Each structure stands twice: as C-alpha cells, then as structure tokens.
Amino acid sequence: AQTVTQSQPEMSVQEAETVTLSCTYDTSENNYYLFWYKQPPSRQMILVIRQEAYKQQNATENRFSVNFQKAAKSFSLKISDSQLGDTAMYFCAFIDPTNQAGTALIFGKGTTLSVSS
Amino acid sequence: KAGVTQTPRYLIKTRGQQVTLSCSPISGHRSVSWYQQTPGQGLQFLFEYFSETQRNKGNFPGRFSGRQFSNSRSEMNVSTLELGDSALYLCASNSGGLVYNEQFFGPGTRLTVL
C-alpha cells in the first residue's frame, strides 16, 4: 500500500527563520504527484505547493520550496522568512493516477508548525 | 468565486442514527471528493464523484455512501452511526480535469456521535 510519513508531529520556529518539514512516501510507481497542504487553525485547507514526479526541478512558490529526492522518496518543504500566518498544520500528500482510486489524495499524519514572534 | 461550502458545520447525533452532510462545490467544478479527518487516523479518502457518478472509492464500510446531483452538489450519508464515526468530514472540489489539479477544500462538518 502506498503510504506517506511525516516524522515530525510538531515543530516551532521564530519569525523570519527558516524551517524544513520532512515527508517520505512509499510507492513502486514512476509517475505520481506530490503536494503540501496547509490547514490553519479553524480554517480551510489550502494548497501550498505541488510537484510532478517526472520533473527534476524542485517546485517553488514565493517563500515555499521543496526538496524532491525521487530515489530516496523524500519530499520536504522549506519555509523561508517564517511569518505568524504560517502557523498551521501541514500535510504532505500523494496521488498515484494509476491506482484504482487515482484521484484520491493520500495524506501523511501532518506536522503542526507554530511560528512565534 | 464563492468557495466550497458545507452544511451543517456542526452536528451531534447518537449511535444508531443516520446523518446526511451536504457539499456545494465551486461553480464550474464537476468533481467532489469526501475525506474523513480524525486525530487517530488522520485524513482518509472516502469517495469521489464526477458528473453524478462515483469515480473512486476509499476503504470504508457500506454504511458510508454518497451521491452527486446534476448541479454538482454532493451529499454523503452515514447510516447506523458508531462512536468511531465522530470526525471532521471535509469535502473538496476541483474542475475534474487533470489529476494533479488543486483540490479546494470546504470548512468541514464536525460530526459528534454520542
């Protein structure tokens, strides 16, 4: 079964600092998609960044970037210049379009990130 | 554009009852997916509907069912509620095209089973 593992249940960082959230996944497929979603306290989940497995270049979105290591099945999220508004639970997620449930997001258990001033 | 809306936001039921949750996707989106979020199991995929047809299904018992209407609004139903069904139920919509399209999530319905 395909799985997503986030080994850091909680992390803390101060404003303006850089933090990296870890994610590993398990699949035997070659083509798949990886995502980081953010769920702020009592607010709706939103997409932070996504990566297609066939692309070697790491995705970036403003202060958010990923380190995608396909051979190691690792997909970490780096947040630069952390802001108070980054406080949220972050979920790493995976889609395998060849799977029977091909459009289903498979989520990790999440990392709660707290940004303090 | 209005976002994904879910009703009701909070619900309290007792064991053995049934419940229906509703999700209205973003206008123009044809795909609606449902997820169950619990502290123990995390986020788990329930099912996805596209153009009124169930396209994918997760590993949940038959007590969990859903449907989608011609206007893309979706409902999920849970029959014979169990204590373990207490969870935040999220729905997500996307245009239904490419598989890596962004999923837009609603605020969720918090179901408590007593």
- From first CA to last CA, the distance across chain A in angstroms is 41
Joined together, the tokens standing for residue B36 give 């169950």
Q: DSSP code of A59?
A: P
Segment-wise mean pLDDT, segments of 10 residues, chain B, 114 residues: 92 98 95 94 93 91 97 97 97 81 92 98
Mean pLDDT of A28-51: 92
Q: Do B43 and A105 touch (CB under 8 A)?
A: yes
**A47 interaction partners in chain B (CB closer than 8 Å):** 102-103
What is the pLDDT confidence band of residue A100, given thresholds at 50, 70 and 90?
low
Interface test with B, best of A43, A44, A61, A112 (most B CBs within 10 A): A44
Per residue in A43-98, pLDDT (tens digit) is: 899 999 999 999 989 999 999 999 999 999 999 999 999 999 999 999 999 988 77
Contacts of residue A109 in chain B, CB cutoff 8 Å?
A: 42
Question: Closest partner residue to A104 among B58, B102, B106, by Cβ?
Answer: B58
The per-residue pLDDT for B99 is 67
The pLDDT score that the predictor gives to residue A42 is 81
pLDDT band at A30 (very low <50, low <70, confident <90, very high): confident
DSSP B96: S
In a mutational test of the B interface, the residue from A10, A33, A35, A45 whose CB has the highest number of chain B CBs within 10 Å is A45
Q: What is the pLDDT of residue B2?
A: 83
The pLDDT of residue A101 is above 70:
no
Pick A31 or B91 by higher pLDDT. B91
Residues B73-103 have pLDDT tens digits of 999 999 999 999 999 999 999 987 666 778 9
Judge whether A59 and A65 are in contact, CB under 8 Å: yes
Chain A hits for B46, CB-CB cut-off 8 Å, are none
- Judging contacts by C-beta atoms under 8 Å, the chain A residues touching residue B100 are 33, 50, 52, 95
The pLDDT value given to residue A8: 96
Cα-Cα-Cα-Cα torsion A4, B58, B36, B20, nearest 10 degrees, comes to 170
Identify the residue with better confidence: A104 or A113.
A113
Given pLDDT bands bounded at 50, 70 and 90, which one contains residue A29?
Answer: confident
CB contact under 8 A, A105 and B102: no
A99 near A78, Cβ under 8 Å?
Answer: no
Interface test with A, best of B6, B94, B99 (most A CBs within 10 A): B99
- The DSSP code sequence of B43-58 is EEEEEEEETTEEEEE-
pLDDT for A111 equals 97
Q: Cβ contact (<8 Å) for B99 and A52?
A: no
Beta-carbon contacts of residue A102 (< 8 Å; ≥ 6 apart): A95, A96, B56, B99
- For chain B, state the CA radius of gyration: 13
Are the Cβ atoms of A33 and B48 closer than 8 angstroms? no
For residue B81, the model assigns a pLDDT of 98
Q: In chain A, which residues have their Cβ closer than 8 Å to the Cβ of B90?
A: 45
